[in-house]
Amino acid sequence: MEYTENLEEKMIASEEIFDGEVLHVLKDTVELPNGASATRETIRHKGAVAIVALTEEGEIILERQFRYPIAQVITEIPAGKLDHIGEDRLAAAKRELEEETGFTADNWQVLGEYHPAAAYSDEKITLYLATGLHQGERHLDDDEFLNVFTEPLADAVQEIMDGKITDGKTQVAILKAAKRCL
């Protein structure tokens, strides 16, 4: 038996607070399951993809990138946002892997969906495992600066467990890939 009945909230009114390039912020009034009302501030996002690219040697392709909101360089897997709502997610994953790392892949498997901040955002990241890799040329966006490197999958798992890799999508995707591959 699922325990989902009497949990849904219904929108009564919605006000757009901010309409940006990537994020769209709304302030909604909702009716709660008990009939009372509440306010929900929500960030709408086009969606994204993230890729664990695994070499024949059991290494994964990682990136180090400065993230302005936290003022740190962090380790992540290749990833990127969809260009538009409804964009084919696999096509976006293939594009992002090649743009950021120069690699293409023969084989693609979906590792699952990830909601990084479901309490206030509708962003959904589709996680992929890419194998059968071929190295080519990177095509970074003009505002993208990152260092690409490889590391054994098992070492990346240990770095997650040691708190060295803190990015959520990277943690989830690597652990899912490790469950399948190690």
Q: What residues contact 78, with CB distance under 8 A and at least 6 apart?
A: 50, 51, 53, 61, 63, 96, 97, 100, 101
Per-residue pLDDT, 182? 84
Which domains are seen in the chain, by residue range?
10-45 (no CATH), 48-181 (3.90.79.10)
Distance, in Å, from the CA atom of 170 to the CA atom of 176, rounded to the nearest integer, reads 10
Residues of the chain with confidence (pLDDT) below 50? none
Token reading at 119: 């309490």
Predicted local distance difference test score (pLDDT) of residue 1? 53
pLDDT, the chain, mean? 96
Cα distance between residue 48 and residue 121, in whole Å = 13
**What was the pLDDT predicted at 163?**
98
Computed from CA positions of residues 17, 19, 22, 26, in that sequence, does the dihedral angle turn out positive or negative? positive
Predicted model pTM: 0.94
| Percentage of residues in the chain having pLDDT higher than 70 | 99
Q: What is the pLDDT of residue 141?
A: 87
Among 143, 144, 160, which Cα is nearest to 60's?
Answer: 160
Per-residue pLDDT, 118: 97
